[in-house]
Structure 1
Amino acid sequence: MTEKMFETPKQQKFLANYFASLLKQNQLVHAYLLTGPAGSGKSSLALWVAAGLFCLHPETTGSPCGKCAECQRILTGNHPDVIDVVPDGSSVKVEQTRFLKAEFSKSGVEGRRKVIILESAEKLTISAANSLLKFIEEPSGQMTFFLLAQNVNQLLPTIVSRCQLLKMVIPSETQRSQLFAQAGISASKSDLLAGLTVDLQVAKQLDQTGAVYQLSDKLIEWYLKILSKDWLSVVDVQSQIMPIVVEKKDQQLLLELLELLVKDLINWMVNNQVKYFAKYQTQLTPKLKQLTVNQQLAAIELLLKQPKLRQANINFQNALEALTLQLLKCYDR
């Protein structure tokens, strides 16, 4: 069986070194709150630290070896004293809260040491968070608790105050683009993907499925028609775009691509270059050159102020068609 290896030290070198020092000196505190966007390595870092606590052959720096039986059990999710809880749905369910409380009350199965990891901790309800406060304040035995969250502001202040808060180091878009290119993603596509995600695995998945490129093509075709003051762009919303954004996740991807389009419109105003949609530069440039500064700024403002597209109770097609009409009127001034 091929050994799995930890990647966290490469993704979060500073925090890995910090935790390695604590592991070496046996100075871990009982609760940590790791914050950062999806794909920033929060879960991997927590598991890496857990491996450092159980590793049979730790390195002189305090880092786990990543190869011994204990490290491999943790990495593959088979260690009984490393509990990783992932919320089911939009919130941490009552059953999961009860499970957490029960695990907090127990010592380790194979020893006194135990690690509990709660992912998406911002999904804790107020009652669930309050019920866990006592256990976070007064952990039993040799317990280390990791809360992972994308947005610390969505957590109760009382929870945050009882944990040591650490923010994940996020590589810049340029660094991400280079990383994606080194991983085999075409350099002409890596800028677009780096604008959409910090996660290499997500970038690979997007690249392999190709849906993001199909949606990008349709988006730019739609926008070029708008720039040409072609009213058929309104029809394109129903005939060309909606058939490939049926699911909410696809609609969210379209919104993220629209945000990158706005950034590229600003890039073009500043230096006559587009970054994320570089493959369409020759098509966009002559159209954009025909616009006045006021038209460009008005269009950017319209694209930035599209709360209706994000509202769950609003018909996505109707909102996108309304945006199309607003942009057409903006460019027809």
Structure 2
Amino acid sequence: MNWDQFEKEQPIAARLLKNSLVNRRIAHAYLFEGEHGTGKKEASLLMAASLFCEENGQDVTPCDHCGNCKRIKSGNHPDVHIVEPDGLSIKIDQIRALRTEFSKSGMESKRKLYIIIDAEKMTVQAANSLLKFLEEPHAETTAVLVTDQPQQLLPTIISRCQSVPFHPLTPEFFAKRLEEAGVPKGKTFLLAAITNDLQEALRLNDDDWFAQARKIVLKLYEVLNNPLYAMTTLQVDWIGHFKEKAQHDMGLSLLLYIYKDVLNIQLGKDRQLVYPDQRQTLEKDALQTSMKRLSEQMTAILEAKRKLHANMNPQLLMEQLVLNLQGGPSFV
């Protein structure tokens, strides 16, 4: 990531950080918070390069070719430390080691910077140890905490950090990025609806399971008005393919996007259909379905997602959902 890209993707975060760098008013701790895939880790490394670059002078843009820039990019700069979960959590020994390291003077300058990735995964002991560190900041030391779930951090840690919000990329912007990365145009808005993470989107684009999931969801939607075919498709195709909770959730999201497409056609917002290859069918359905009914169907899918996460049996849940989408009994 460079500053031009950062400013296009996250203008608020980029402006806040750039002003801090230009005015040499660096906070002792930042909290980069936002959804997964919004560029938080990349931005933290860009900030590190901007702080340590040997050749950028009064400009905040790192040169990318000096020794410091290269070592930050490769992860081996002695004064830039990255802490990531060891297994499922960040443990107290990792924070203790960080505090010990930062009690020493900088190897090559007075400045030191540490980045804690997935900060919400700190154990209680690790979080309390970090809090003591934040309460006694060393001069020229900067912390960057990166998190998808700030609500899981101690309020006292949050209060000692300057918040830097990272917002989801717009579907239009992210779809363009995907197209530039080689994803077929007909699939870009579907992937952009699912994730903001470029690498995850590219993985899904090449994933046979995901391609088959899309086909099964479209097939179920197509046969919903035929009760026998709908239940057969559900039992044979859906239950056979969507086995884990996360897979069922993905299937429900893919189903929800079909109804959103129908609604967007009714509203005249059909430039970025998630299923552009289904336009003819969806336009026909848009003429035959009321907005009230569409709202009921979308609400039923969202309710199914909620019940899925409340550990309702997936097969029973899907059978009830199909009845509801057909106009049968509601969830009870």
TM-score, normalization by structure 1: 0.85
Contact (CA 8 Å) 2:35, 2:167: kept in 1 or not?
no
Q: Do residues 264 (structure 1) and 264 (structure 2) align?
A: no
CA distance in 2, matches of 1:100, 1:316: 45
Partner of 1:3: none
Q: 1:286 to 1:162 in 2, by over 3 A?
A: same
CA distance in 2, matches of 1:187, 1:329: 34
CA distance in 2, matches of 1:292, 1:19: 47
Q: Do residues 237 (structure 1) and 215 (structure 2) align?
A: no
Partner of 1:133: 131
Shift of 1:111: 4.1
Per-residue CA deviation, residues 30-76 of structure 1 (Å, 9 max, x unaligned), is 10011121111111111111112221211542221112121111112
Task: For 1:227-306, list aligned pairs within 5 A.
Answer: 228-271=225-268, 273=270, 275-287=273-285, 289-306=287-304
Q: 1:179 to 1:285 in 2, by over 3 A?
A: same
Q: 177-186 or 92-101, which moves further after superposition?
A: 92-101
Partner of 2:117: 119
Secondary structure of the residue that 2:315 maps to in structure 1? helix
Q: 1:61 to 1:20 in 2, by over 3 A?
A: farther
Shift of 1:268: 3.6
Shift of 1:282: 2.1
Q: 1:249 to 1:102 in 2, by over 3 A?
A: farther
Partner of 1:173: 171
Letter in 1 for 2:234: V
Q: 1:286 to 1:266 in 2, by over 3 A?
A: closer
Aligned residues: 325
Partner of 1:156: 154
Secondary structure of the residue that 2:60 maps to in structure 1? coil
Aligned with 2:29 (options 31, 34, 37): 31
Secondary structure of the residue that 1:305 maps to in structure 2? helix
CA distance in 1, matches of 2:86, 2:253: 25
CA distance in 1, matches of 2:237, 2:57: 56
Q: 1:219 to 1:83 in 2, by over 3 A?
A: same
Partner of 2:307: 308
Secondary structure of the residue that 1:286 maps to in structure 2? helix
Shift of 1:25: 4.1
Contact (CA 8 Å) 1:8, 1:41: kept in 2 or not?
no
Partner of 2:106: 108
Aligned with 1:215 (options 209, 213, 217): 213
The percentage of aligned residue pairs carrying the same residue is 34
Secondary structure of the residue that 1:12 maps to in structure 2? helix
Contact (CA 8 Å) 2:92, 2:125: kept in 1 or not?
no
CA distance in 2, matches of 1:316, 1:80: 50
Contact (CA 8 Å) 1:298, 1:330: kept in 2 or not?
no
Give the unaligned 5+ runs of structure 2. none
Aligned with 1:330 (options 324, 328, 331): 328
Q: 1:72 to 1:247 in 2, by over 3 A?
A: farther
Partner of 1:12: 7
Partner of 2:182: 184
Partner of 2:56: 58
Secondary structure of the residue that 2:183 maps to in structure 1? coil
Contact (CA 8 Å) 1:24, 1:61: kept in 2 or not?
yes
Secondary structure of the residue that 1:145 maps to in structure 2? strand
Contact (CA 8 Å) 1:31, 1:145: kept in 2 or not?
yes
Q: 1:98 to 1:254 in 2, by over 3 A?
A: farther
CA distance in 1, matches of 2:15, 2:298: 43
